[in-house]
Amino acid sequence: MNEVLLPFILTLDATLRLATPLILCAMAGLLSERSGIIDISLEGKLLSGAFAAAAVSTVTGNVYMGLGMAIVVSVAMALIHGFACITHRGNQIISGLAVNILASGLTVTIGFAAFRQGGQTPPLSADERFGPIILPFADALRDVPLIGLLYSELLSGHKLIVYIALISVPLVAWLLFKTRFGLRLRAVGEVPEAVDSAGISVTWLRYRAIILAGILCGIAGAYLSTAHGAGFVREMSAGKGYIALAAMIFGKWRPWSAMGACLLFGFLEAASSRMQGVELPLIGQTPVDLILILPYILTVVLLAGFFGRAVPPKAIGEPYVKEH
Amino acid sequence: MKNVFRGLGLAAVMAIAGVANAADFKPAVVYDLGGKFDKSFNEGVYEGVKRFTEETGVEVMEFEVTNEAQRQQAMERMVSRGATILLGVGFAQADAIDAVAKENPEKQFSIIDVFWLDQPNLRQYSFKEHEGSYLVGVAAAMASETGTVGFVGGMDIPLIRKFACGYVQGAKATKPDITVLENMTGTTPSAWNDPVKGGELTQGQIDRGADVVYHAAGGTGMGVIRAAADAGKLAIGVDSNQNYLAPGKVLTSMVKRVDIAAYQTFMDAYKGKFTPGVQSLGLAEGGVDWAVDDNNKDLVDGAIADAVDQAREDIVSGKVTVHNYEDDSNCPF
């Protein structure tokens, strides 16, 4: 039975790897948007985090320093976004886009100046990256039917950040729905006037939301360049921030549904790379083009066909003006 | 004293002659996406450019395009800055150089990886990548213990299919029952720069039993080599010698001597011996080869080296013909 299941489980394993940055970014977007700030800048924060992590890891040889710097840089990008659209009440989409463009240009320019490798960082060696974490008893349990395989192949052996991503979902759900901070954060995204009249600072709440978002995006960036990949390559975020944003909307601004959407996107990508050139009954060898467009087609079908009305937070996109 | 003056005069005359020569001759190169330090194709060209500059002292104007729209602009700018010979890198620049060469019939142009254009002032270099890929296919089949080897291509275009086809032929000629898994990264130019996807494709092939994976995918290949090395399997590099990227985990590299093309282009133009037309570089011309150095000499022990040398001999002598995918858009293996 294990032989039949193994390819499927390995695909799920890849799903988890590919969904990790999406989940972290979707949680970041969720926190930000629930507070009323549209977060188009996920992509830029992800990319700048990826660059900072790879650059610092390669210089210091310490992957945790890289992770720390990724968070710092990503939060800094978030603060630029916040300064423009919270403090100065600028257009949130434009300021988010500005962050993306800034990240895309700055990473390559700094990378070029610092490493002289066409905007890349030098490839990272094994100890400059996150290693796999083997969960206890993974080898001992391997031979237990089904459960053993699930545990040892699917759950065990991932990089630290994969587990952080999985934990981030209940954490964000708890923060949003079970704490006073979460209640206020949601309120500030729906009726900021009410929060303001209760004597709580709308500005400070929103800043806290985007700082949290920055931290999560920084971790996702470090994952791209120092855990899943081995070094920074220009534009390596490859639209993942936007996909995460779509997944979050797909998940109707709810943590668990957003995670489900991220896993779905991850699964489609994992399946598409594994199904290339595989012989299928009736069709024969699967054509490359068909496999490559499959995730996009499915996204459209799913979004159009199975997706009910999504209600965004009421005050999203509107800068809060204290006095009219 | 007189002699000193005469000597100085001679030196001055020579210097003036040198300056005049340098002023008339202005070489330029336009690197493609990936940049000149991509550890692969563009860097190979850069090696050739560097050798030319070291030997002649003539600086080469350089431009690295960062998006597709810049190619023709960059070439036009080089020409307007006085370039007399311009080298384009990669098939993606074919249309751009075709247009610019037509507009500037008095200048000389050369392009690597193109053979289908027709301009009286354009030299085109094509490589017999299928022959080099055949060699590494032989090496892969010899090194494989599982009887399954893999190939990861970048963008799905005939050129990359040509790599794949030669590789399959070489592998099957060595072990007729071998399985070769093939994957392409994508159908757009971003497929050259996606190491994460390259790594996933490689992992997928390893999960299906592959233990040697050959890449022809530019920057994406960094992910291929990393994934193979992480899994304790072997990778095969491409274009430039990539054995050092994961010492002991890169079986060999299929080197395409683009540096020779770059060096030849500028040297011929420098000496006034520039000729248009298509130059095809294969095993016999030293244009393609497999790479053996300190990083992989323990991997390619006697049996593998012997088999590869034999294959090279057979191809050069004409005993074995490697099928070129671009001839009939078909791979018979």
pLDDT, tens digit (0-9, with 9 covering 90-100), for A78-125: 999 999 999 999 999 999 999 999 999 899 889 878 887 767 788 888
- Kindly state whether residue B333 falls inside one of the protein's structural domains: no
State whether residue B282 is helix, strand or coil: coil
Mean pLDDT, rounded, for A213-223:
96
Q: Which residues of A touch B (CB under 8 A)?
A: 6-7, 10, 14, 17-18, 108, 112, 116-120, 123, 126, 224, 228-231, 233-236, 238, 269-270, 273-274, 276-277, 288-289, 292
Count the domains in chain A.
Answer: 1
Please provide residue B184's backbone torsions phi and psi, each rounded to the nearest 5 degrees.
-110, 145
Task: Answer yes or no: is B110 within a domain.
Answer: yes
Position B10 scores a pLDDT of: 47
Q: Which domain covers residue A155, as residue numbers? A: 2-238
Please tell me the predicted confidence (pLDDT) of residue B70: 87
Residue A233 pLDDT: 84
pLDDT at A288 over 70: no
Are B240 and B203 contained in the same domain?
yes
Does residue A44 form part of some domain?
A: yes
Residues B158 and B54 in one domain: no
| CA dist., res. A319 & res. B139, Å (int) | 64
Q: What percent of chain B has pLDDT over 70?
A: 92
Residue A269 lies in a domain: no
Domain with B50 in it: 2-128+259-281
* Residue A320 within any structural domain of the chain: no
Q: Which residue has the higher pLDDT, A239 or B317?
A: B317
Per-residue confidence band for A3, with pLDDT thresholds at 50, 70 and 90: low
Provide mean pLDDT across the span A213-221: 96
Instruction: Confirm or reject contact between B40 and chain A (CB < 8 A).
Output: no
Q: Is the backbone of residue B39 left (phi > 0), alpha (psi -120 to 50) or beta? A: left
Query: Are residue B202 and residue B314 in the same domain, yes or no?
Result: yes
pLDDT by 10s per residue, chain B, length 333? 455 445 444 444 444 444 435 557 899 999 987 678 777 778 889 999 999 999 999 999 999 887 778 899 999 999 999 999 999 998 889 999 999 999 999 999 999 988 899 999 999 999 999 999 999 999 999 999 999 999 999 998 888 999 999 999 999 999 999 999 999 988 887 788 788 889 989 998 998 899 999 999 988 888 899 899 989 999 999 988 889 888 899 999 999 899 999 999 999 999 988 999 999 999 998 899 999 999 998 898 789 999 999 999 999 999 999 999 988 888 888
Which among A105, A107, A90 has a CA at the least distance from the CA of A38?
Answer: A90
Q: pLDDT tens-digit profile of B104-153? A: 999 999 999 888 999 999 999 999 999 999 999 999 999 999 999 999 99
Beta bridge partners of B84: none
pLDDT given for residue B266 in this prediction: 93
Mean pLDDT of chain A: 87
pLDDT at B11: 47
Q: Return the exposure string of B179-190: e unless at least 16 CB atoms fall within 10 Å of the residue's CB, then b.
A: bbbbbbbbeebb
Share of chain A above pLDDT 70, in %: 91
C-alpha span between A318 and A204 (Å, rounded): 16
Task: State the pLDDT at residue A284.
Answer: 65
Query: Which has more confidence, A296 or B80?
Result: B80
Same domain, B42 and B185: no
Interface confidence (ipTM) of the complex: 0.76
User: Could you tell me if B55 and B135 lie in one domain?
Assistant: no
E strands within A61-215? 132-133, 158-159
Same domain? B182 vs B231 = yes
pTM of the model: 0.80
Name the E strands within B133-228. 148-155, 179-186, 212-216
Residue A283 binned pLDDT confidence (cut-offs 50, 70, 90): low
Transcribe A176-236 into DSSP letters. Answer: HHHSHHHHHHHHHHH-HHHHHHTT--HHHHHHHHHHHHHHHHHHHHHIIIIIISSS--TTT
Residue A179: inside a domain, yes or no?
A: yes
Q: Which CATH number is B166's domain given?
A: 3.40.50.2300
- Inter-residue contact A82 to A207 (CB < 8 Å): yes
CB B37 to CB A224 under 8 A? no
Partners of B208 on chain A (C-beta within 8 Å) are 7
- A250 is a domain residue: no
Q: What is the CA radius of gyration of chain B?
A: 22
At A119-175, the pLDDT tens digits run 778 888 877 888 888 888 777 777 777 777 778 778 888 899 999 999 999 999 999
DSSP E strand stretches across chain B: 27-31, 61-64, 85-89, 108-112, 122-127, 148-155, 179-186, 212-216, 234-239, 250-256, 277-281, 288-290
Residues in A closer than 8 angstroms to B183, CB to CB, are 273, 276-277
Distance from CA of B196 to the nearest CA of A (A): 6
Residues B93, B69: Cα–Cα separation, whole Å: 10
Distance (Å, rounded) from C-alpha B77 to C-alpha B240? 29
* Parallel, antiparallel or unpaired: strands B250-256 and B288-290: antiparallel
Within this chain, do residues B37 and B60 fall inside the same structural domain, yes or no?
Answer: yes
Does residue A42 lie in a domain region? yes
Q: Which residues of A fall within a CB distance of 8 Å from B39?
A: 117
Predicted local confidence at residue A249, as pLDDT: 86
pLDDT of residue A68: 96
Q: Are residue B192 and residue B264 in the same domain, yes or no?
A: no
Return the pLDDT at B107: 92
| pLDDT, tens digit (0-9, with 9 covering 90-100), for A249-263 | 888 899 999 999 999
* Domains held by chain B: number: 2
Using CB atoms, pick whichever of A118, A269, A276 lies closest to residue B184: A276
Q: Are residues B324 and B207 in the same domain?
A: yes
Residues B30 and B137 both lie in one domain = no
Per-residue pLDDT, B171: 95
Detail the DSSP E strand segments found in chain A.
132-133, 158-159, 279-280, 284-285
Residue A286 lies in a domain: no
